[in-house]
Amino acid sequence: MYEIYFRHFKMRNYQKQMVHDVYSALEKKMHLLAHAPCGLGKTDAALSPAITYAINHGLDVYFLTPKISQHKIAVEVIKGLTEKYSLDVRATDIIGRKHACIHSALKNLDQDTFYQICERMRKEKNCSFCLNAKGNTKLEEARAEILFGKILARYGNVKTYSELISMAEKEHSCPYEIMIKLASGSKFIIADYFHILIPQIRATFFTKTKKKIEKSIIIIDEAHNLPKRIRDYLSVSFNNRMISRMENEIKFLGGNMKFEKEFIFWAKNELKNNVESIISTEQFNSLLAYFDMKPEEIADYFESIGLEYTEKSNRKSTLFKFSKFLRGWFENTQGSVRILHGSKNFFSLSKRFLDPGIITSELNMAHSVILMSATLYPMIMYRDILGLDKKRVVLESYLSPFPKSNKINLIINGLTTKFSRRNIEEFKKIAEVIECVHLLQKCTAVFFSSYSMLNSVLPFIKSNPKFVQIERMHPRNLHKLTKDFSLSGGMLIAVQGGSLSEGVDFNNGEIKTVILVGIALEELGLEIKSLISYYQEKFGKGWEYAYLYPAVIRALQSAGRAIRKEKDKAAIIYLDERFNWQNYKKLFPADENFVVVNPEELEKCLRAFWNI
């Protein structure tokens, strides 16, 4: 075993074991699933042995995240290692072409419109930024190489994507194309999941960078997000409000279309008195007869006029979205279900992808894959639904490095958000418990099982200040909400499974108490029922994999907002007696200890924990 490159003076508790397990998996060409609690230092524990092994065995390392904001810590690890050990290697921090774009006419377009316009401009050699980065003629290519050489001379071992964008912008050059050029000479690449996991994107990426997945170590951070991210990416949907916007765009172009009325009439006829219905491609074809064209011709037509609309209006186009929907709808995708949903005057049609393993099983081609998360539990479920080779998978769970005395898990008996007991009296009792807990420690985060439950209980919560997450809240407003809560304290009110329950770190001890109101079970609509049936047939665990486990994972993620550092101390209140039911309780990690209390015993128990 080689000396492991490690940027810090010493390894934390349990971190050393994870470093050893990662290196061992790499030596044996195995995949490692690591349930690594917050505070263990899993980014260092995964990257350090991976980089060490890759340098000594001629491999590349990919560090994949679900969000751009999570790239920074990986950059810091690589920068620390290259500086400490004077490593002569390069790393590239890559983001998607849209997020890297500096073209003023393209930056504000939505994703579908952006990629259509960008691709056309590149094909027609109309983007000066791209031409400066790549060139077209031999002379332009030579100039592009000189420009790239100037950037490379100032680059060093690694830069953040934002630093690289600034460097490229000064040279009037496309940042994404520069990132790709840098990646071709880099051993370490930080990127989004989709760069490696979506076959079409991966094929293009590996071709351009002249790399191979077989010669790769792939580290997937926050891996509990992976199944849903893949399912959502490969799903398509459309609704009548979008059709209304399409009609306005066509009117802008001087045309006329009355498709929304046709769509609503068709949807009502197909649904009859139901809210949802499974729809076949043949049923949808009867609606598309309105256009008197073949489906692929309809998709091409709306793509072309969407392009015309964007060029004339300089706005994003819903026509593009409809074109993309049609292509996805008619694609013969294994493991998918087509659903029509409607209520009053809103009707939506979607094709939902059910099986991420169809895509993620291709990870088995890599030298090794390291999947890690603080809530990668139960790990067997992730191994199964991601389609990893059972013979090559090692499952490791690590204990929390934080003192157990710093956290108490309390399940409140006698209260529930179960549908049969939802009434005003129960909502008032839940609010009373929240108020009682909050009065003892003013910094409280309350995560509800749904927005419906949040809105039912909120009127009875009198404490102020309250910082309330609203459904479909803009990211800018969410950022302000969390900032205001962090500065002034009070009560943060949000939902389990939402962006505030796992996408935001509270690293300064802002949260003293987390209250989980209810179990965040998915609504048993046709998609979840289809997923249950699919997983039952494939794994014999449909109910667990599609319904129960995801709800518990949402609870664990929410509970994890409180203790982020060794000195943090927090109470986690599970405000639903069902958390004590065996079919839920058994799904929590074995090292989580619970105390069941009645509402009237809660204050005494918390006073003892807080020594007040």
Domains of the chain, residue spans: 1-89+187-229+355-399, 95-184, 236-332, 404-610
Structure tokens at 555: 């609870």
Cα-based distances in Å from 404 to 276, 447, 484, 567: 47, 23, 30, 11
SS3 86: coil
What value, to the nearest 5°, has the Cα angle with vertex 569 and ends 567 and 572? Answer: 150
Does this chain's domain 1-89+187-229+355-399 share its CATH topology with 404-610? yes
How far, in Å, CA of 109 to CA of 491, rounded?
36
Going by their DSSP bridges, the two strands 346-353 and 336-343 should be labelled as antiparallel
Q: Give tens-digit pLDDT for 436-493.
A: 999 998 899 999 999 999 999 999 999 999 999 999 888 788 889 988 998 888 999 9
Nearest to 23 by CA among 60, 63, 62, 50: 50
Which of the residues in the chain have pLDDT under 50? none
Number of Cβ within a 10 Å radius of residue 180: 19
Residue 343: Cβ within 10 Å count: 10
Average pLDDT in the chain = 93
Assigned token pair, 415: 């209260």
Residue range 1-89+187-229+355-399, CATH number: 3.40.50.300
CA distance 373 to 46: 11
Ordered alpha helix ranges (H), 458-587: 475-488, 499-502, 526-539, 542-543, 549-559, 582-585
Strand partners, 372: 34
Q: How far apart are CA 372 and CA 227, in angstroms?
A: 13
**pLDDT value at residue 475:** 77
Cis preceding linkage at 378, omega within 30: yes
Q: Spell out the alpha helix ranges (H) of 192-294.
A: 193-197, 199-209, 226-233, 240-252, 259-271, 281-288
For residue 81, give Cα distances in angstroms to 49, 84, 158: 11, 5, 11
DSSP H or E run through 32: strand 31-35
The strand pairing partners of 407, in sequence order, are 570
CA 565/CA 571 separation, integer angstroms: 15
- Residue 364's alpha-carbon distances to 21, 218, 390, 558, in angstroms, are 19, 10, 10, 31
Q: Which residues pair with 350 in a beta bridge?
A: 237, 339
What's the length of the chain? Answer: 612
Give SS3 for 600. Answer: helix
268-282 exposure pattern, b = at least 16 Cβ within 10 A, e = fewer: eebbeeeebbebeee
3-state helix, strand, coil in the chain (%, to 5): 55, 15, 30
**Which superfamily does CATH assign the domain made up of 404-610 to?**
P-loop containing nucleotide triphosphate hydrolases (3.40.50.300)
Report field, pTM of the whole predicted structure over 0.85: yes
Tell me, what's the pLDDT at 189? 98
Question: Which pLDDT value is given to residue 1?
Answer: 58
CA distance 381 to 356: 12
**Cα pseudo-dihedral 196, 201, 202, 205, rounded to 10:** -110
Show Cβ contacts of residue 503 under 8 Å, excluding neighbours closer than 6 positions. Answer: 67
Spatial CB neighbours of 107, under 8 Å, sequence gap ≥ 6: 101
What is the number of other CB atoms lying within 10 angstroms of the CB of residue 396? 19
Q: How would you class 143 by CB atoms within 10 Å of its CB: exposed for 0-12, middle for 13-18, buried for 19 or more?
A: middle
CA nearest neighbour of 228 among 330, 334, 333, 360: 360
71-74 contact pairs (CB < 8 A, 24+): 71/95, 71/160, 71/161, 71/190, 72/160, 73/43, 74/43, 74/47, 74/190, 74/221
Tokens 């351009």 belong to 208
How far apart are the C-alpha atoms of 42 and 46, rounded to whole Å? 6
Q: What is the pLDDT, as a whole number, of residue 38?
A: 82
User: What does the pLDDT read at residue 568?
Assistant: 83
Residue owning tokens 């009117």:
251
